[in-house]
Amino acid sequence: MQLSVLPDPATLAAALAAQLVADLQAVLVVRAQAQVVFSTGATPIATYAELRRRHLHALDWRRVQLWQMDEYRGLPPVDLRRFSTFLRAHLIAPLQLPHRLLTGGENAAQLHAYEAAIAAAGGLDLVLYGVGINGHLGFNEPGSPFDAPTRQVVLHASTTARIEPVAGLRPQRAVTLGLGVLNAARRLRVVAWGPAKRPALVRGLLQSPDPQTPLSSVQAHPDLHVFVDAAAAP
Ligand code: GLP
pLDDT tens-digit series, residues 112-159: 999 999 999 999 999 999 999 999 999 999 999 999 999 999 999 999
- Reply yes or no on whether 57 is catalytic: no
117 Cβ contact partners less than 8 Å away, ≥ 6 residues apart: 100
107 is catalytic: no
Half-sphere exposure of 222 (CA within 13 A, CB side): 3
**pLDDT score for 65:** 98
User: What is the residue-averaged pLDDT of the chain?
Assistant: 97
| Backbone CA torsion sign across 67, 69, 72, 78 | negative
Cα 18–chain centre separation: 17
- Alpha-helical (H) ranges within 31-160 are 45-54, 83-87, 93-95, 108-120, 157-160
Pocket test for ligand 1, best of 136, 163, 228 (most atoms within 8 A of CB): 136
Residue 104 CB–ligand 1 contact under 6 Å: no
DSSP 156-174: PHHHHTTSPPBTTB---EE
Residue percentage of the chain with pLDDT more than 70: 100
| Per-residue pLDDT, 141 | 98
Mean pLDDT over 46-51 rounds to 98
Nearest CA residue ID for atom 12, ligand 1 = 41
Q: How far is CA 55 from CA 30, 48, 100, in A?
A: 20, 10, 22
What is the best residue among 16, 38, 40 to mutate for testing ligand 1's pocket, by most ligand atoms within 8 Å of CB?
Answer: 40
Work out the pLDDT band at 89, boundaries 50, 70, 90.
very high
Q: What angle do CA 30, 187, 54 make, to 5 degrees?
A: 80
pLDDT, mean of residues 192-210: 98
Angle at the Cα of 102 from the Cα atoms of 100 and 108, rounded to 5 degrees: 115
| 141 belongs to the catalytic site | yes
- Tell the residue nearest (CA) to atom 3 of ligand 1: 138
User: Which of 72, 31, 21 is CA-nearest to residue 189?
Assistant: 21
The answer, yes or no, to whether any atom of ligand 1 lies below 6 A from the CB of 40, is yes
Residue 84 sits at the vertex; the CA angle it makes with 81 and 89, to the nearest 5 degrees, is 90
CA of 71 to the centre of ligand 1 (A): 11
Q: Which residue of the set 50, 141, 183, 229 is catalytic?
A: 141
Mean pLDDT throughout 80-108? 98
Whether 134 is a known active-site residue: answer yes
pLDDT at site 223: 98
* Dist. CA 67–CA 64, nearest whole Å: 10
Question: Given this model, what pLDDT does residue 142 score?
Answer: 98
Which candidate in 136, 140, 183, 229 is catalytic? 136
Question: Span 198-202, mean pLDDT?
Answer: 98
Q: What is the mean pLDDT of residues 170-198?
A: 98
Strand order, beta sheet including 151-154: 70-72, 173-176, 151-154
pLDDT at 147: 98
Cβ contact 93:3 at 8 Å: no
- The angle, 0 to 180 degrees and rounded to 10, between the axes of the packed helices 9-30 and 45-54 is 60
Average pLDDT value for residue range 10-36? 98
Res 5: pLDDT: 98
How far, in Å, CA of 23 to CA of 21, rounded?
Answer: 5
Catalytic residue among 50, 106, 134, 229: 134
* Confidence category of residue 70, pLDDT binned at 50, 70, 90: very high
Name the pLDDT band for 85 (thresholds 50, 70, 90).
Answer: very high
| Element containing residue 14 per DSSP (H, E) | helix 9-30
Q: Is 71 in the pocket of ligand 1 (CB under 6 A)?
A: no
Q: Does the Cβ of 196 fall within 6 Å of ligand 1?
A: no
pLDDT digits (tens, 9 = 90+) for 162-178: 999 998 899 999 999 99
Mean pLDDT of 62-77: 97
